[in-house]
């Protein structure tokens, strides 16, 4: 049986559901769509207050979409990219899109943001289930 869902841990708490879904759709080559997402393991325990992070379970229509999203979150830059996408969505109109690679954007600001995230002892992790 192939998996159609992934668990994404250590998502920054300020990143909303819409941002997470749009990030997956626009950053994957095949445009993987999240068909459902839910707090993991449940709505009472998905928030890690000490790290200010959340854990989500994302469901996809096909196992190949789940595998593609799984690879997306395994990137060493996943947290930085997701935070940047979150900032873009909150400061742009709804028609703006996420670039497929960092090289397509001239204005990304790397000034120590990724290093600061690593110092907090967290990194986005993903598991296919």
Residue bearing the bigger pLDDT, 62 or 94: 62
Encode pLDDT of 89-126 as tens digits. Answer: 777 555 555 555 544 444 444 444 444 444 455 689 99
Residue bearing the bigger pLDDT, 15 or 122: 15
Residue 75, both tokens? 């990137």
pLDDT number for residue 49: 94
pTM: 0.76
Percent of the chain with pLDDT over 70: 74
Domain count, the chain: 1
Phi, psi of 27 (to 5 degrees): -95, -10
Domain of residue 112 covers: 5-128
């Amino acid at each position: 049986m192939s998996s159609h869902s992934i668990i994404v841990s250590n998502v920054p708490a300020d990143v909303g559901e819409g941002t997470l879904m749009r990030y997956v759709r626009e950053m994957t080559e095949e445009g993987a769509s999240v068909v459902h997402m839910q707090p993991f393991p449940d709505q009472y325990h998905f928030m890690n207050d000490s790290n200010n992070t959340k854990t989500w379970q994302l469901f996809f229509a096909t196992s190949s979409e789940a595998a593609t999203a799984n690879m997306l979150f395994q990137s060493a830059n996943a947290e930085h990219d997701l935070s940047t996408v979150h900032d873009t969505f909150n400061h742009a109109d709804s028609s703006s899109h996420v670039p497929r690679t960092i090289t397509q954007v001239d204005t990304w600001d790397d000034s120590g943001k990724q290093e600061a995230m690593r110092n907090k002892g967290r990194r986005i992790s993903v598991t296919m289930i």
